[in-house]
Amino acid sequence: MITLHYLDNSRAHRILWLLEELGLSYDVRIYHRGSDMLAPDSLKAVHPLGKSPVIVDNGRVLAESGAICDYLIDTYGPTSGLRPAPDTDAFLAYRYWLHYAEGSAMPLLLLKLIFAKLPSQVPWFLKLPAGLISKGFAAKLVDPQMKTHMTYWNDELSRTGWFAGEQFSAADIMMSFPVETAMVRAAPGTETAAIRAYLAAIRERPAYKRALEQGGRYIYATS
């Protein structure tokens, strides 16, 4: 049986959701963040980096959401409909968004988070300058880039409602986390009508709802 090592309020939600979409039997082991919001050290017993998600299947330990997604579909869901047919434009889009989610979207969102939290991580006498620097950096560099990316998502989703062609796919699962977290930190004035329609659609999927039941509270499910 597949074991998913699941950190609460994390990217691991996507893998739990994918397991439900594929209808697979699995065991989920839930880890909770500490007061510092970091993963517990116990995850390092599973994978040296101590990150989540990680799955263990037939003695294989796999990390990285995109790699796990590919493995699960290759192994258990090649005919599931969650990946477009090869040699199609939809497949090229699928592969692009599968990698874009972690390669382009998440680094930007991480920068946004770091600069939002920086003032609270320095001594009291540095909080004011740290806050000014953080706000200035975000306003001039991060927020404009976020608006550009979110406008791009909105434009893509306005075509079919999905990221890779006419049908829901695992690319939508991979993109769900950056989209959900970005909606919490969206730059003012960003057009998000198609994004909001996409979020409403994925949250109505029975497998998404079952993943919430299995994983517990997921704060981005209402963003």
- pLDDT by residue (tens digit) across 106-150? 998 887 776 666 556 656 655 665 556 566 566 667 788 889 999
> b or e along 79-108 (b: 16 or more beta carbons within 10 Å of the residue's beta carbon)?
eeebbbeeeeebbebbbebbebbbeebbeb
**pTM for the complete prediction?**
0.91
Smallest CA-to-CA distance from 181 within 33, 16, 61, 11 is with 11
* Contact (Cβ atoms closer than 8 angstroms) between residue 67 and residue 30: no
Mean pLDDT in residue range 27-43: 88
The overall average pLDDT reported for the chain is: 89
Could you tell me where in the chain the CATH 1.20.1050 domains are found? 89-205
Phi/psi of residue 55, nearest 5 degrees: -120, 150
Could you tell me where in the chain the CATH 3.40.30.10 domains are found? 2-82+209-222
Phi/psi of residue 96, nearest 5 degrees: -60, -55
- DSSP 8-state class, residue 36: T
CATH topology of domain 89-205: Glutathione S-transferase Yfyf (Class Pi); Chain A, domain 2 (1.20.1050)
- Percent of all residues in the chain with a pLDDT value above 70, rounded to a whole number: 86
Pick the range with the lowest mean pLDDT from 91-95, 151-155, 189-193. 189-193
Distance CA 11, CA 63 (A): 12
Specify the pLDDT at position 65.
96
On the question of pLDDT at 179 being above 80, the answer is yes
Q: Decide: helix, strand or coil at residue 126.
A: helix
Specify the pLDDT at position 180.
95
CATH number for the 2-82+209-222 domain, one of 3.40.30.10, 3.20.20.70, 3.40.50.300, 1.10.10.10? 3.40.30.10
